[in-house]
């Protein structure tokens, strides 16, 4: 076979590879990811506004990872609005996530109130043992402990 024949055989797979890579890149960067990132940034900023002294004690990357983890759980549980996500993540922050494992909290999450005020009231009404179930994340950060 001639040299030209081999060049033509090689060129076709290269184009397939290039188109495949373009497709994969397009699929790996959907607009939903940007929205999720924007939502995360908004939630972190809101938490820094609500509890500025406490959030300042946590290393920023650790705070963002923690908030991202619990925001994802909140969304998976049906909490699509930032107000209920904030209340959910606040409980996680105040207990290093332990409060969310308590049966009383799980009962609230079985049928979470739809309005932000009702959801917040439900969390405020949880027994004190839910809030005492774990150290606040910032105390773990100050003491050098991990989540």
Beta-carbon-side half-sphere exposure of residue 91 (alpha carbons within 13 Å): 32
Mean pLDDT, residues 114-125: 96
Please return the burial class of 2, using the count of CB atoms within 10 Å of its CB with bins 0-12, 13-18 and 19+: exposed
In a domain, 12, yes or no: no
The pLDDT, as a whole number, for residue 18 is: 41
Question: Whole-structure pTM over 0.85, yes or no?
Answer: no
Integer Cα distance of 100 and 109 in angstroms:
9
Q: Is the pLDDT of residue 28 over 90?
A: no
Integer Cα distance of 140 and 2 in angstroms:
70
Question: What is the tens place of the pLDDT at every residue in 37-78?
Answer: 899 999 999 999 999 999 999 999 999 999 999 999 999 999
What's the mean pLDDT when you consider all of the chain? 82
- The boundaries of the domain holding residue 74 are 31-143
Number of structural domains the chain divides into: 1
The pLDDT, as a whole number, for residue 140 is: 79
Q: Is the pLDDT of residue 90 over 80?
A: yes
């Amino acid at each position: 076979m001639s040299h030209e024949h081999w060049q033509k055989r090689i060129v076709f797979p290269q184009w397939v590879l290039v188109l495949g890579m373009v497709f994969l890149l397009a699929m790996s960067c959907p607009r939903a990811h940007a929205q999720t990132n924007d939502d995360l940034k908004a939630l972190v900023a809101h938490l820094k506004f609500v509890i500025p002294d406490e959030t300042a004690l946590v290393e920023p990357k650790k705070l963002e990872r923690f908030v991202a983890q619990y925001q994802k759980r909140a969304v998976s549980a049906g909490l699509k609005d930032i107000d209920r996500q904030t209340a959910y993540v606040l409980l996680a922050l105040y207990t290093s996530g332990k409060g969310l494992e308590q049966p009383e909290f799980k009962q609230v999450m079985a049928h979470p109130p739809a309005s932000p005020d009702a959801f917040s009231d439900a969390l405020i009404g949880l027994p004190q043992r839910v809030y005492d179930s774990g150290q606040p994340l910032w105390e773990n950060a100050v003491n050098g402990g991990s989540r």
